[in-house]
Amino acid sequence: MIKFFRKIRQNMIKDNKVSKYMLYAIGEIVLVVIGILFALQINNWNIERLERKNEQMILLDLQVEFQENLNDAERVMEGNEDIYNAMWAIQQNSLDENYNQEAIDSLMYYVFDWFDYTPKPGASNNLINSGNLNLISNKELRKLLTLWSGVAAELDDDEQLAVRYSQDIIIPYIVTRFPMSNLEAYDKNVGYYLKESNNLEEFEPIRNISYNVEGLLQDKIFKNHISVKKMYARHNALECLNVVNTCRSILEIIEQELGQSNL
């Protein structure tokens, strides 16, 4: 093909057809430019195709990551709601002067309980740290992934305050006024089962020990601790709801993007 065009140029020069040669030269340049542009377009199509393929793989990894994050966030939110409800019930028993020990013991377990949400790092961290966030074509998804670490960090900050309050203040105070062994039966009931092992005897809580229920429920310091515990639980549940909603939004967009790619 190149020899063919070269021969045409040589014949035009010999015949002194300058004007025709100029037109031919311009046409040849145009063909070359078109060829280059076409080659660039094909290259761009290939790059875009590879990027979209990579994006689909990333979206699948993100889907797994945020489904796990959602499941754990819902668990923690429900746990904080249970703590809140238990603290409210203790307050109500105190107001109603209901000093039934079995009922109070079932609620006291939540005084010592707390929940800690830990996001599952994975595709989102790798995506941001590698600088490849631009592979995600959906702008709203890119925005949510960028904000995700801050959303999870806000919940973690509040949780740590609640955990430290329970560990450092509530527990040291209450263990001197309440028999902790009474919680063993309720530890089993709320799902903390011992793993099966030949080296472990069957879990059997000891008999409840009597204590001054009225004195505990009407103690002013105890009431203050219950109020603070209740407020922490409410605040953490609301913060966790923000995490839940963010996970759901991310998963919804991912599902839409994956659905479109399969059309």
- In 3D, which of 253, 249, 255 has the Cα closest to residue 70? 249
Tokens read off for 44? 């761009």
Q: Give tens-digit pLDDT for 154-190.
A: 888 888 999 999 999 999 999 999 998 888 877 754 4
235 pLDDT higher than 80: yes
Range in 68-82, 202-216, 232-246 the model is least confident about: 202-216
92-119 confidence digits (pLDDT tens): 999 999 999 999 999 999 998 888 888 8
Q: Once rounded to an integer, what is the mean pLDDT over residues 210-217?
A: 94
Q: Which tens digit of pLDDT belongs to each residue from 9-65?
A: 555 555 555 555 566 566 667 666 676 766 666 655 555 666 667 788 889 999 999
Handedness of CA 48, 260, 132, 139 (dihedral sign): positive
Instruction: Show Cβ contacts of residue 89 under 8 Å, excluding neighbours closer than 6 positions.
Output: 107
Q: Is the pLDDT of residue 228 over 90?
A: yes
Per-domain boundaries in the chain: 69-261
Residue at 67: amino acid letter = Q
Residue bearing the bigger pLDDT, 126 or 6? 126
The amino acid sitting at 115 is F
Q: What is the pLDDT of residue 164?
A: 92
